[in-house]
Structure 1
Amino acid sequence: MATERTANQIKDGIDREDLPGYVKVTRDDWLRVAMDLLVSDGVSEVKVLTIGNRLGVSRSSFYWYFKSHKDLLDQLLHEWERTNTGILVRAAQTPAPTITAALNNFFRCIVDPNGFNHPLDFAVREWARRDGGVRRVIDRSDEIRTSALMKMFEAHGYDPSEADIRARVLYYQQIGYYALDLKETLEERLSRAALYLYAFTGVHPLPEEVEDFKVFARQVASQ
């Protein structure tokens, strides 16, 4: 109800939803554009006015969903952690009959455009260079991710110390792959899939596991 709205949510005593041509946007819309700006231009360009202009709404719309610019950045960081870290953890926890099949679950979320968002991940890491609070969130997320991968290896019979090292090698390699901005084609990457699986696990994958992953990777690439 209007009587429950703050002064920032109402302008000149007029409910914007009653105005002709009013564009309804959601919290997710604000966060989506904020993420786009973070990736393309850095955190310094994640501005309320810029986002509002892109969405075609006034600044007052912002206050339906966020208390302040800092609140927007806090929620943006939380959304990054919920999605990117959550995606990796769920992949590591997906049941699999073998460790190589389990690793394929991890790689599926990496190659899927709707899965792990590596440009966003690096944008947040760049943000962390300037903000100690964000750095602490990054460190926490990295620990959660490597812990999930460690448990994945342990579930398939690796002792804790070996599982820890294999998890770190796997995770650091994947982060480093994108940090190097390598320009391999999909087929080049897939040609190495079986040996990657062997290198990370010490176990030769079943041919059908490799083929299933290749089929999945080609399907998502063609979408």
Structure 2
Amino acid sequence: MRRSGLIGNTKVTREDWMNLALETLISEGVEAVRVLALGLKLNVSRSSFYWYFKSRQDLLDQLLDYWRNNNTRFIVEQAGRPAASITQAVLNVFECWLDESLFNPRLDFAVRAWSRQSAKVHRIVNEEDDTRVDAIRAMFSRHGYADTEAFVRARVLYFTQIGYYSLEIVEPVSNRLFLTPAYLLTHTGKEPRAGEVEAFAEKMLLKSPG
């Protein structure tokens, strides 16, 4: 196990390095994720970095793993949750779009920007998109949609939201919730069951009080 980096009375943890690297990736792009620059912001020497990471590339690989194990994992988990109806199943996925603890759109956008500079990252992003779409496709299939229809509906649901983020559309949560029944009808072809949207709205408003 690597020891903590100690500078004076300041202990810099692996989480400190990771959190700053994530913030930097999101706000400044992958080129700004440099060991020396991060160390200066943390007020520690570069030697602290090497207690936790083998190299800058190791850090970048771990940033990709973090992105994959959070943004992708939660979409897959939400799409796989048991649901009594397809509209409830889609609402489970919608939680990702309104709860940044399940899906961080700024991080997703940053990784996609990174992918335009790296063939390796571009391939990984495509693989993760496929994984996310396939989880949503399986969700539609479980609720009786034919294979091709399930696949197309999954792509429309997922890529519509990714496009929403890419265009940086900002609207109040209250407006998104008001439109939820129409989104459900558009994505599933079915009206939501009584109480589904109300329960979803209550849950989301508790998580997004603003």
Whether TM-score is above 0.5 comes out as yes
2:51 paired with 1:64: yes
Instruction: Let me know the Cα RMSD of the aligned residues.
Output: 1.8
Give, in whole Å, the separation in 2 of the partners of 1:185 and 1:119.
Answer: 17
2:171 paired with 1:177: no
Counterpart position of 1:12:
none
Counterpart position of 2:110:
123
2:129 paired with 1:142: yes
2:59 paired with 1:80: no
Counterpart position of 1:37:
24
Give, in whole Å, the separation in 2 of the partners of 1:26 and 1:151.
Answer: 40
2:85–2:143 CA contact under 8 A, matched in 1 = yes
Give, in whole Å, the separation in 2 of the partners of 1:87 and 1:54.
Answer: 31
Deviation at 1:119, TM superposition (A): 0.4
Give, in whole Å, the separation in 1 of the partners of 2:200 and 2:117.
Answer: 38
Deviates more, 1:101-110 or 1:131-140: 101-110
2:158 paired with 1:161: no
1:84–1:116 CA contact under 8 A, matched in 2 = yes
1:113–1:220 CA contact under 8 A, matched in 2 = no
Deviation at 1:71, TM superposition (A): 1.0
Give, in whole Å, the separation in 1 of the partners of 2:209 and 2:43.
Answer: 32
Deviates more, 1:126-135 or 1:44-53: 44-53
Give, in whole Å, the separation in 1 of the partners of 2:11 and 2:102.
Answer: 28
Give, in whole Å, the separation in 2 of the partners of 1:128 and 1:58.
Answer: 30
Deviation at 1:218, TM superposition (A): 1.1
Structure 1 unaligned segments of length 5 or more: list them.
10-14
Deviates more, 1:103-112 or 1:130-139: 103-112
User: Can you list the C-alpha shifts for 1:116-157, whole angstroms capped at 9, x where unaligned?
Assistant: 000000100000101000001001000000000000111111
1:207 to 177, 190, 194: 194
- May I ask how many residue pairs the two structures share in their alignment? 210
Runs of 4+ residues deviating >3 angstroms:
none
User: Can you list the C-alpha shifts for 1:55-106, whole angstroms capped at 9, x where unaligned?
Assistant: 3322111111111111111111111111111111111111111111111111
1:53 to 40, 45, 63: 40
Give, in whole Å, the separation in 1 of the partners of 2:109 and 2:161.
Answer: 12
